[in-house]
Amino acid sequence: MTISDEVRRLIERLSPAPICDDCISERLGLSVRQHANHKTRELAGTKGFERRKDACAICGVTKLVIRHSGHC
Ligand SMILES: [Zn+2]
C-alpha cells in the first residue's frame, strides 16, 4: 500500500470529519510534513475530496483541512 492509499483511507475513515495535514502525518507516522501536504493536494483534485479552511476534527485547530464528502 502506498502512502497515497494510506492517506486516502484515513480521510475516508474519518469522513465526513475533516483532518489537517499535521494530523495525517502524525496518524500515519510520516516523517516529513511536506509528504502529507503533497498527498492531500493531490487528493483535493480527486472526486469526492475537498480541501478548505475548517476546524480539524482531531486537533481542533482551524486551518487547511481535507475531507471526503461524497460516497460515490
Ligand atoms: Zn489536526
Neighbours of ion ligand 1 (CB under 5 A): 20, 23, 56, 58-59
pLDDT, residue 69, reads: 85
Q: How far is the CA of 62 from the centre of ligand 1 (A)?
A: 8
Note the Cα 15 to chain centre separation in Å.
Answer: 10
pLDDT, residue 63, reads: 96
The domains found in the chain, sorted by start residue, are: 3-68 (1.10.10)
Phi then psi dihedrals of residue 37, to 5 deg: -60, -45
Q: How far is the CA of 43 from the centre of ligand 1 (A)?
A: 17
Would you write out the chain's pLDDT as a tens digit for each of its 72 residues?
888 999 999 999 999 999 999 999 999 998 765 688 989 999 998 889 999 999 999 999 999 999 998 654
Q: How far is the CA of 72 from the centre of ligand 1 (A)?
A: 25
Q: How far is the CA of 48 from the centre of ligand 1 (A)?
A: 20
Evaluate the omega torsion of the peptide bond into residue 18 and state whether it is cis, within 30 degrees of 0.
Answer: no
pLDDT, residue 40, reads: 94
